[in-house]
Amino acid sequence: MSTHNVWTHKGTFLLAAVGSAVGLGNLWRFPYLTGENGGGAFILVYALTIFAVGIPILIAETMLGRNSRRSPIMGMRFLTRTHNTSRAWESIGWLGAASAFLILSFYSVIAGWAIHYTWQMLTGSLAGADAATIGAGFDALLASPALLTLYHTLFIVASGLIVGMGIHKGIESGLRIIMPALFVILLIVLAYGVANGDFAAAASFLFTFNLADLSLEGWLAAMGQSFFTLSLGMGAIMAYGAYMSSEISLTRTAIAIAIVDTAVAMVAGLAIFSLVFGADLSPGQGPGLMFVTLPLAFAEMPFGALVGGVFFILVLGAAISSSISLIEPVAAFLVERFDLTRPQAVFAMVMASWALGLLTVASFNVYAEGTIFHTLFGRSAFDFIELLTNIFMPLGGLLIALFAGWALTHSEVMKEMRTNETWFTIWRLLVRFVAPAAVAFVFLRAIPQVEGYLIPAIGALVIVGAFAAGRTFLVDDSQEQ
């Protein structure tokens, strides 16, 4: 059975893909990683990876979705059949579903922090507060499993409701309201940063390139971030691509997505660092940059409580337009495969991911250290889940590039890309050789660092593999020929 759903308008895929791409990755992760890794050099590697590896894989992933017109798992199964390739390629779908489920579990917890800060800002509780008070407030939030669970639940339920209402009434209509609002708010925050902060310092921090400043971890983080920020390698883009009208050029669309996503990260970085430098704070604060350093900057500035509140609404909107793209691929699969209704499918996915998210919640307090997890994996459950997704996403991207590059025929690709031979040749070169080499490089360089986690990581892969193999035997798919 294939989904015959198609987006209402030609431009909706672009809207939805930008909604997926622009998220906590741009507003929270990108600025703090840039801050930790010394600025410009990090951005250079990040931008190069986006353009040389990200865009070709983005084209490939959309192509697999649109060509199969099914959810990622069923779509890959369909493509392996129609192209007479090994069923092992189905692992692309399974890896994607696993990543979506894992990412949603912690993404929702972190987005939940933004609910807390929206509230704190708009009620003026942080106006004029000093560093110690704001730092203590963040620590108190993380120390409270009840509060974290409450926000996590609110966020994931809101995301589930949107997806549950369907791709037209829920996702499309939701995005049509959220996305324009986000761009307006982003510009307001930028203008505020320019007016009240130190824009020149921010610009020189972000755009002074000195590759020698970049550590090995910086390189890896930059490449990992470019996958995360484009939502690559985990089925979100494939699922949205399945609903895309056949007439649109994939090349142009993919380039547009990458440009908008990168521009949002840069504008967010400029705005945030203007405020941080303007308040004489340090950029290298890690994950606390947005939740401690930035509120501190807002606390000292005119109308800071109001603009800060609006900023956290921006964070929430961007996060929700991404989290719905994490639910969609798995929900669509459950609908196609098990004939569930959409609300049932969404409920199943969201409930499971919500429950897993409790591990992330506990990682900040009750299970902060000394649990079996730490003994086995040397880190908290949250860090471990994040590490797994950092492995799964590039791996998924690699497999997508290889499948699209080697298994799809020339005419199929030409039909999807709607471009000329030159672009086709460049794209094929990139997905066949350059992207795989880049991903392999990331993995090889990462081995010394993750040695201790290699065994659990391989273990997890074996579990996923066994699961995929198991269902190959258990499931009767004759009805779907």
Please report, as ranges, the residues that interact with ligand PHE according to CB under 6 A. Answer: 20-21, 23-26, 103, 228-229, 231, 234, 236, 322, 325-326
Q: Provide, rounded to whole angstroms, the least separation between the CB of residue 299 and ligand PHE.
A: 26
Q: Provide, rounded to whole angstroms, the least separation between the CB of residue 101 and ligand PHE.
A: 11
- Sign of the C-alpha dihedral computed for residues 98, 102, 108 and 111 taken in this order: negative
Residues in the chain: 481
Q: Provide, rounded to whole angstroms, the least separation between the CB of residue 302 and ligand PHE.
A: 30
266 versus 413: smaller Cβ distance to ligand PHE: 266
Residue with tokens 């983080």, as numbered in its chain: 221
25 versus 112: smaller Cβ distance to ligand PHE: 25
Q: Provide, rounded to whole angstroms, the least separation between the CB of residue 231 and ligand PHE.
A: 4
Q: Provide, rounded to whole angstroms, the least separation between the CB of residue 102 and ligand PHE.
A: 10
242 versus 301: smaller Cβ distance to ligand PHE: 242
The CA distance from 110 to 156, in Å, is: 11
Point out the residue whose Cβ comes nearest to ligand PHE: 25
Rg (CA), the chain: 22
Closest CA relative to residue 343, chosen from 165, 196, 172: 165
The CA distance from 426 to 56, in Å, is: 9
- Sign of the C-alpha dihedral computed for residues 302, 305, 309 and 311 taken in this order: positive
Amino acid at 479: Q
264 versus 413: smaller Cβ distance to ligand PHE: 264
36 versus 198: smaller Cβ distance to ligand PHE: 36
Closest CA relative to residue 143, chosen from 334, 462, 365, 470: 365
185 versus 299: smaller Cβ distance to ligand PHE: 185
Closest CA relative to residue 75, chosen from 438, 332, 447: 332
Q: Provide, rounded to whole angstroms, the least separation between the CB of residue 110 and ligand PHE.
A: 10
Q: Provide, rounded to whole angstroms, the least separation between the CB of residue 14 and ligand PHE.
A: 15
The CA distance from 210 to 207, in Å, is: 9
The tokens describing 321, both together, are 């337009």
80 versus 325: smaller Cβ distance to ligand PHE: 325
The CA distance from 16 to 174, in Å, is: 10
The answer to whether 348 and 334 have CB atoms below 8 angstroms apart is yes
Q: Provide, rounded to whole angstroms, the least separation between the CB of residue 318 and ligand PHE.
A: 7
268 versus 296: smaller Cβ distance to ligand PHE: 268
The CA distance from 13 to 117, in Å, is: 31
